[in-house]
Structure formats: C-alpha cells, structure tokens
C-alpha cells in the first residue's frame, strides 16, 4: 500500500498538486502557505486519508463514477448528464457581485432555507487572497460570491467541519479537483475512519479551464489596477483573448491573455475535467446567440444526479431561478470545449 510519502513523490515533486486542501485539516502533517501545499513533518503511515482523498493520486475512476451516478446517463465528454440548462438567479441582488448569473448563490440560499443543507464550504476573499470558508447563513453565502481564478485550499475547511461533526448537511462548492476529492471522501475508502463523510449533503461543481499562480496573478493585476481597487475579474470567450479586470468604480481594464497563460499552474494543464464531472450539479458561464454582454449574466448548468435534479426542480417551483431557452447546438459546443481540455491534458 502507498504511504503518505507518495503525495510528495507522485504529486508535489511532479507539480501535480492543485492545492485543493483535501490532504489538510485532518492531522498536523499537511498545511498550506500562499496557495501552495506544504508538508510539515515526515510521515510513513500507510493508507493515509490524505493520499486516498488527493484528486491527483491514482484511483479507479469508472468504479467511483458507477458508485454515485447512473451509468446510462454518462457522456464521454462532460460526464453524467441528466440535462443542460441556461439559468440565472431570479433575485437581482444575488447577481450583484456574482461571477455570472448568481446561480450557485441562489441554489445555496434555497437549499439552506429549505433545510437541505445547514452549512456550505465556499471560498471567500480575505484581503487580497482567497480562503476556504464555512458559510452557515444567507449573509455568509452572499459574502462568498465571485471568483479569483486562484485555487484555495478550501477542502481543509471541509475536513475540519466534518471532524467537528457539528453540521450534518454540508454543501461543497468547488472546481473539478475539489469535487473529485470530495467524492473520494464520500466513497469512504476507510469506513472505520471516514471523517463523517455522510455529512456531505450536496456538491456543486464549477466549470474550470485552469487556476493561476497566486503571486503571479497579483503581480500581473497590479501592473494595471491597484490590488485594493479590484472588484471583479473575468475571462470572456476565447475570441476576446483577454482577462478583464473591473475596478470598484466600474471601469474595466483588458489584459491580453498572452500575459495570463504563463501563470497557469502546471497541475491544471494535466487536468482533463473542464465541467466538474463529480458533482450533483455543475455550473459555468452562459453561452447563447445573444453575445457576451448578455451571456455573462447567465449560467450554463448541468444536472448530474437525482439529488441535483430535485434541487433544480425545487428552484423552478419556488421561483429561485430564471430559465432561458438553450440555443441550438449549445450541448455540442460545450462537449467540444470539454473534449478539447481532455485532449490537451492527455498531451
């Protein structure tokens, strides 16, 4: 069996670590500093949960998928799919400060108010950097809107919350590396020390092309906008070839993507999953024939599980989400983008 040394030799030393935090929060051996995973003490324990939960350690993907999803609904490009939708929060205040349509915010608020969850593991900006955060109120959820394009060790917060066992129905929101690690936890590879994995009640995945180096992104952004003035960052469709930085006064600055791509973390280049396939629901930016000025206020949403399907239906019934007709070819376009990321990762 593999010891926890394998995380160092097979993941850290090979630049495959995403700093998702799955190895942290359970023991004092692993921590994080400035967006990087740090191994603090030698440990030769076999069958460590840290290596079992790591999304970059080898595992039987098909077995894990079959354990949680209907194999008949598997798509080779985007994973389990019960339906694709174009949606946004029906509450305009949710959309203020959201990355796009505020869909994740609306779903979490609904799940909390209906008692489907009692906490949510999210990211929140702390100063200039993102950090994992355990949200337990609507105000907490609203405080976590937006994206930083930097991967924070969010799952360390999840591991601590599971260990403390105070919250019995926890939602997890994250990119593909985080949701995969969460499903590895849910599979309970060590039933006698499962860290209360059954307390994970809902998983919402975020579409992701890549994450960026923390220091590099801050240095690049500071060339154009004082860091304290940055309100929002976004990457429009590929034809724009840019990173857009919005100041707190509403003014926008466009940065050529050629300055951004050198900052992509090596681990992200090896990731084949664009749409966070291990999730109940996955959410990304909207795409329609209306153009980016309209689409950036909407989200594409993939329903993957029965639980996700029930939550989306509840959102429709309660009026928490607005639905827009998908343009012709939307699914095919998403599949092509996902297949492209898979192909690049394989190369």
pLDDT tens for each residue of 60-117: 999 999 999 998 899 999 999 999 999 999 999 999 989 999 999 999 999 999 999 9
- Per-residue confidence at 136, pLDDT binned at 50, 70, 90? very high
Which residues lie below 8 Å from residue 198, measured CB to CB, with a gap of 6+? none
What does the pLDDT average to over 208-232? 93
What percentage of the chain carries pLDDT values higher than 70? 99
pLDDT tens per residue across span 162-183: 999 999 999 999 999 999 999 9
What percentage of the chain carries pLDDT values higher than 90? 78
State the chain's mean pLDDT as an integer. 93
pLDDT at 265 exceeding the cut of 90: yes
Question: pTM for this structure?
Answer: 0.95
What does the pLDDT average to over 296-303? 94
Token look-up 């989306």 returns: 312
264 alpha carbon, distance to own chain's centre: 16
Cβ density class 113-126: b for 16+ within 10 Å, e for less: eeebbbbbbbbbbe
Give the max Cα distance, the chain.
56
pLDDT tens per residue across span 183-197: 999 999 999 999 999
- Per-residue confidence at 2, pLDDT binned at 50, 70, 90? low
Q: SS3 letters for 75-127? A: ECCCEECCEEEEEEECCHHHHCCCCCCCHHHHHHHHHHHCCCCCEEEEEEEEC
- Residue among 87, 80, 82, 83 at smallest CA distance from 315: 87
How far, CA to CA in Å, does 202 sit from each of 120, 126, 262? 9, 25, 34
What does the pLDDT average to over 235-256? 91
Most confident of the following: 40-49, 220-229, 276-285 = 276-285
Which residues lie below 8 Å from residue 231, measured CB to CB, with a gap of 6+? 97, 246, 247, 248
**Confidence (pLDDT) at 20:** 96
Instruction: Enter the tokens of residue 202.
Output: 């809902």
What is the Cα–Cα distance from 135 to 123, expressed in whole angstroms? 9
């Amino acid at each position: 069996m593999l010891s926890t040394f394998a995380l160092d030799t097979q993941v850290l030393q090979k630049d495959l670590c995403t700093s998702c935090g799955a190895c942290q929060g359970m023991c004092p051996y692993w921590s994080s500093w400035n967006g990087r995973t740090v191994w603090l003490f030698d440990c030769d324990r076999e069958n460590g949960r840290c290596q079992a939960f790591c999304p970059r350690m080898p595992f039987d993907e098909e077995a894990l998928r079959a354990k949680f999803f209907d194999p008949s609904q598997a798509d080779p490009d985007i994973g389990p799919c019960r339906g694709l939708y174009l949606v946004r929060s029906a509450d305009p205040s949710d959309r203020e400060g959201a990355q796009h349509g505020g869909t994740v915010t609306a779903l979490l608020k609904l799940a909390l108010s209906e008692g489907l969850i009692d906490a949510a593991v999210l990211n929140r900006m702390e100063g200039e950097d993102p950090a994992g955060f355990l949200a337990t109120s609507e105000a907490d959820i609203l405080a976590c809107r937006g994206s930083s394009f930097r991967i924070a060790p969010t799952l360390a917060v999840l591991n601590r919350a599971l260990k403390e066992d105070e919250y019995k129905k926890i939602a997890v929101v994250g990119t593909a590396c985080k949701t995969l690690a969460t499903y590895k936890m849910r599979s309970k590879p060590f039933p006698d020390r499962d860290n209360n994995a059954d307390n994970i009640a809902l998983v919402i995945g975020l579409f992701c092309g890549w994450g960026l180096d923390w220091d590099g992104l801050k240095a690049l952004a500071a060339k154009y906008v004082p860091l304290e003035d940055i309100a929002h960052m976004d990457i429009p469709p590929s034809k724009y070839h840019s990173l857009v930085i919005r100041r707190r006064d509403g003014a926008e600055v466009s940065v050529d993507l050629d300055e951004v791509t050198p900052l992509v973390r090596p681990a992200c280049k090896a990731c084949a999953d664009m749409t966070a396939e291990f999730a109940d629901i996955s959410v990304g930016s909207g795409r329609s024939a209306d153009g980016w000025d309209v689409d950036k206020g909407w989200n594409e949403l993939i329903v993957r599980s029965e639980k996700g399907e029930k939550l989306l239906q509840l959102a429709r019934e309660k009026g928490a989400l607005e639905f827009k007709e998908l343009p012709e070819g939307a699914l095919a376009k998403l599949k092509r983008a996902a297949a492209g990321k898979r192909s690049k990762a394989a190369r």
